[in-house]
């Protein structure tokens, strides 16, 4: 964006937490090691045409074998916290049944290493790598998140993980971005398991929410005192100032934002086309909503950019299409850079959900593909400008009364960006995917300095 206000202190309150975020499938590699079972992403990435560069997370950043080196980088960064995800099939190779002790050992070591270095662990339990056996059982059944049983298995897994590492984990996030799980994975088929069921995917959304609620119960029973979400939110803008585009944007807003925030924060589903989305959901919906809306300690928000939506042509299967949000610089991913969208979102959340607990920004970041120059320096000024502007956007929201406690940058290091493979780099640390050498970028030093200056 080139015109960031990278001078002058960012006015964040004392005690504000800084962190970085990653996810198991995106960094760990070791996809078949030490008893890990296959996940839906192992399967999906093996299907031709699914991933833009034909790659997979089989090796990724090889974090599984480089935990010491990576935690040392976090220590050098000086951040307060680190958000990682636990791979469900590493712990339960078939989603239920016998535990794989080596899987639990890995997270036990990671958490020990973090704590020994003064970094507070934030554990996500589901960042998309569903055990394949829960998607396709040997009898051909299962159905992943379309099946209510998956939510029950998820709660059992949550209890096992909490029993092992709960004494040292500071914060818990049961499900990362349930909207992306259900809409991209089950409605549109762009993510694993690659189902394009359109509105028939709604049960996957309900079961992911139920999984969240049941996992909260399991974590509470294990003594957890800081449990939240990592819900992806985007302000939705009509592509054109027409009634049709405004109606399409409202509909998409209900599906992307309201369908995941209202049940958690209000205990009900939003309306869509004049009736409650809850009517489209399976199961004892009212009882489930009581579980889903159990009080949380923080509301975790993943923010990247506003989204544009337009009305679909007459007769289309789905009544909206993505439209562009124009007039802003874009990242290398083509995503508009709109820091004020984060302030707007935080103010909107506070106004819509007055009982919302304190907010943690559980992800915020950008893809710029700058590599090392001839001196080995990765000069990613665009990321510095991005982070500076987004931290100031958080400070603006706090000044206007929103209780925001933390900012976790996505991501600690470049990693496997799902359907985009390795073509988009979000890291503060550059990873050479041939040698696996880590090189902190200029943004890493800037973030470290900013953290120090804000103390």
Binding site for ligand IFM (CB under 6 A): 23, 26, 177, 302, 363, 410, 417, 426
Catalytic annotation on 177? yes
Cα separation values, 415 from 234, 276, 350, 369, Å: 23, 39, 33, 12
Assess contact for 191 and 128: CB atoms under 8 A.
Answer: yes
Q: Quote the least distance from Cβ 207 to ligand IFM, whole Å.
A: 20
Task: Report how far residue 276's alpha carbon sits from residue 264's, in angstroms, rounded to the nearest whole number.
Answer: 15
Cβ count near 279 (within 10 Å): 10
Q: Quote the least distance from Cβ 363 to ligand IFM, whole Å.
A: 5
Q: Quote the least distance from Cβ 284 to ligand IFM, whole Å.
A: 31
Residue 455 has which token pair?
Answer: 């103390």
Tell me the backbone φ, ψ of residue 311, rounded to 5 degrees: -70, 140
Judged by beta carbon, residue 87 or residue 100, the one nearer ligand IFM is: 87
Assess contact for 203 and 282: CB atoms under 8 A.
Answer: yes
Residue 425 has which token pair?
Answer: 């780099």
The one catalytic residue in 177, 314, 340, 417 is 177
Catalytic annotation on 374? no
Judged by beta carbon, residue 386 or residue 426, the one nearer ligand IFM is: 426
Tell me the backbone φ, ψ of residue 429, rounded to 5 degrees: -120, 130
Cβ count near 125 (within 10 Å): 25
Q: Quote the least distance from Cβ 431 to ligand IFM, whole Å.
A: 14
Judged by beta carbon, residue 147 or residue 415, the one nearer ligand IFM is: 415
Judged by beta carbon, residue 416 or residue 446, the one nearer ligand IFM is: 416
The DSSP result for 344-367, as a single string, is: HHHHHHHHH-TT---EEEEEE---
Q: Quote the least distance from Cβ 407 to ligand IFM, whole Å.
A: 15
Judged by beta carbon, residue 23 or residue 431, the one nearer ligand IFM is: 23
Which residues are known catalytic residues? 177, 363
């Amino acid at each position: 964006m080139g015109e960031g206000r990278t001078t002058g202190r960012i006015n964040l309150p004392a005690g504000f937490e800084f962190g970085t975020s990653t996810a198991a499938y995106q960094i760990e590699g070791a996809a078949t090691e030490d008893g890990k079972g296959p996940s839906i992403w192992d399967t999906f990435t093996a299907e031709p045409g699914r991933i833009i560069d034909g790659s997979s997370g089989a090796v990724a950043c090889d974090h599984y074998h480089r935990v010491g080196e990576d935690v040392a980088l976090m220590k050098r960064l000086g951040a307060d916290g680190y958000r990682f995800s636990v791979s469900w099939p590493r712990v339960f190779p078939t989603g239920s049944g016998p535990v794989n002790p080596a899987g639990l050992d890995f997270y036990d070591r990671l958490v020990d290493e973090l704590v020994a270095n003064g970094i507070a662990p934030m554990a996500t339990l589901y960042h998309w790598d569903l055990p394949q056996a829960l998607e396709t059982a040997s009898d051909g059944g299962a159905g992943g998140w379309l099946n209510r049983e998956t939510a029950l298995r998820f709660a059992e897994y949550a209890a096992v993980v909490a029993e092992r590492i709960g004494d040292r984990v500071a914060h818990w996030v049961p499900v990362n971005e349930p909207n992306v799980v259900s809409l991209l994975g089950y409605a549109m088929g762009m993510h694993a398991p690659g189902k394009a069921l359109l509105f028939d995917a709604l049960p996957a959304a309900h079961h992911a929410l139920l999984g969240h609620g049941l996992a909260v119960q399991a974590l509470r029973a294990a003594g957890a005192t800081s449990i939240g979400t990592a819900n992806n939110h985007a302000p939705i803008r009509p592509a054109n100032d027409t009634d049709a585009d405004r109606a399409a944007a409202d509909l998409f807003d209900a599906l992307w934002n309201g369908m995941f925030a209202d049940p958690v924060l209000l205990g009900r589903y939003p309306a869509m086309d004049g009736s409650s989305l809850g009517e489209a959901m399976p199961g004892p919906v009212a009882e489930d909503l009581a579980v889903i809306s159990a009080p949380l300690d923080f509301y975790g928000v993943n923010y990247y950019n506003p989204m544009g939506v337009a009305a679909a042509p007459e007769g289309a299967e789905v009544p909206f299409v993505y439209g562009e949000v124009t007039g802003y610089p874009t990242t290398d991913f083509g995503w508009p850079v709109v820091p004020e969208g984060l302030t707007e979102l935080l103010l909107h959340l506070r106004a819509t959900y007055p009982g919302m607990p304190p907010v943690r920004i559980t992800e915020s970041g950008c893809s710029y593909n700058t590599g090392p120059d001839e001196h080995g320096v990765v000069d990613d000024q665009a990321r510095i400008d991005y982070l500076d502007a987004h931290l100031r956007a958080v400070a603006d929201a706090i000044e206007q009364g929103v209780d925001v406690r933390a900012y976790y940058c996505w991501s600690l290091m470049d990693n496997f960006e799902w359907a985009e493979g390795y073509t988009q780099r979000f890291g503060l640390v550059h990873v050479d995917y041939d040698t696996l050498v880590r090189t902190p970028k200029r943004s890493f030093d800037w973030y470290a300095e900013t953290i120090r200056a804000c103390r």
